[in-house]
Amino acid sequence: MDMVKKRWVAIAILGLGGALLVPALRAGTSGSRALVGQANADSAAITVGRRAPDFTLRDPEGKQVRLKDLKDKVVVLSFWATWCPPCRMEMPHLEALQKKYAGKPVKVIGVNTDKQGKALRNWMKARNLTFTVVADTNHKVSGQYQVEAFPTLYVIDKKGIVREHILGFDPEMETNLGRLIDNLLKK
């Protein structure tokens, strides 16, 4: 089989796999909760202009990271999973944002939904990623944030208000988020 046919076969297989995976993620399996968080029917929608829900999650070393402790900082919050190709494409961009805003009141946090502890630490280390990462393997926080797809990214201002909500990977995220973060830092 020539290279062009191999590529099209690979694309078709990935597309079919994705089409089959999305309903499974929404439905969950064996009575367990779906991999993607489910919001309570009576909870307020997490939209731009509303307060971001507070949470406490642990980093791979077991240290608690609490959103309310990041008051007076712009927070870039990305929900992701290690098995998600667009999430993996987003990682170097999150790292670049972390480095660009080092020493400024900006915090990049990756909320991983499939690994924790040593496994998560090793995954990050193997990719030279140094931004803060926390584990949400029980999907409580992704449920609070009504995450339905990976990656899902929120930008939260210094007062705890959601200023941006992005579904999926944006290859221009460093530029686009950089402008937004710069504007939020001026306020």
CATH number at residue 164: 3.40.30.10
Q: Using CA atoms in the order 61, 128, 173, 66, what is the torsion angle rounded to 10 degrees?
A: 10
pTM above 0.85, yes or no: no
Q: Report the run of H or E that residue 6 belongs to, with start and end.
A: helix 3-27
**179 & 92 share domain:** yes
67 shares its domain with 128: yes
Q: Are residues 98 and 148 in the same domain?
A: yes
Does one domain contain both 44 and 27? no
Q: Is 121 exposed, middle or buried (0-12, 13-18, 19+ CB in 10 A)?
A: middle
Q: Quick one: pLDDT at residue 1?
A: 52
Which helix (H) or strand (E) segment holds residue 13: the answer is helix 3-27
Per-residue pLDDT of the chain (187 residues; tens, 9 = 90+): 554 344 444 444 444 344 334 333 333 332 223 334 343 433 566 889 999 999 999 999 999 999 999 999 999 999 999 999 999 999 999 999 999 999 999 999 999 999 999 999 999 999 999 999 999 999 999 999 999 999 999 999 999 999 999 999 999 999 999 999 999 999 8
Same domain, 145 and 56: yes
**Domain extent for 182:** 37-186
Same domain for 24 and 45, yes or no, is no
Same domain, 47 and 104: yes
Residue 5, pLDDT score: 45
Q: Angle of helix 85-100 relative to helix 173-186, nearest 10 degrees? A: 40
Q: Are strands 74-80 and 152-156 parallel, antiparallel or unpaired?
A: antiparallel
Is the same domain home to 20 and 50?
A: no
Q: Same domain, yes or no, for 163 and 88? A: yes
Same domain, 131 and 95: yes
Who contacts 181 (Cβ-Cβ below 8 Å, separation ≥6)?
74, 76, 97, 101, 106, 155
Return the H-helix or E-strand segment holding 135: strand 132-135
Residues 174 and 93: their CA atoms lie apart, in Å, by 6
What helix, strand, coil percent values describe the chain, rounded to 5? 40, 20, 40
Is residue 24 located within the same domain as residue 42?
Answer: no
The reply to whether 117 and 142 lie within a common domain is: yes
- Tell me how many domains the chain contains: 2
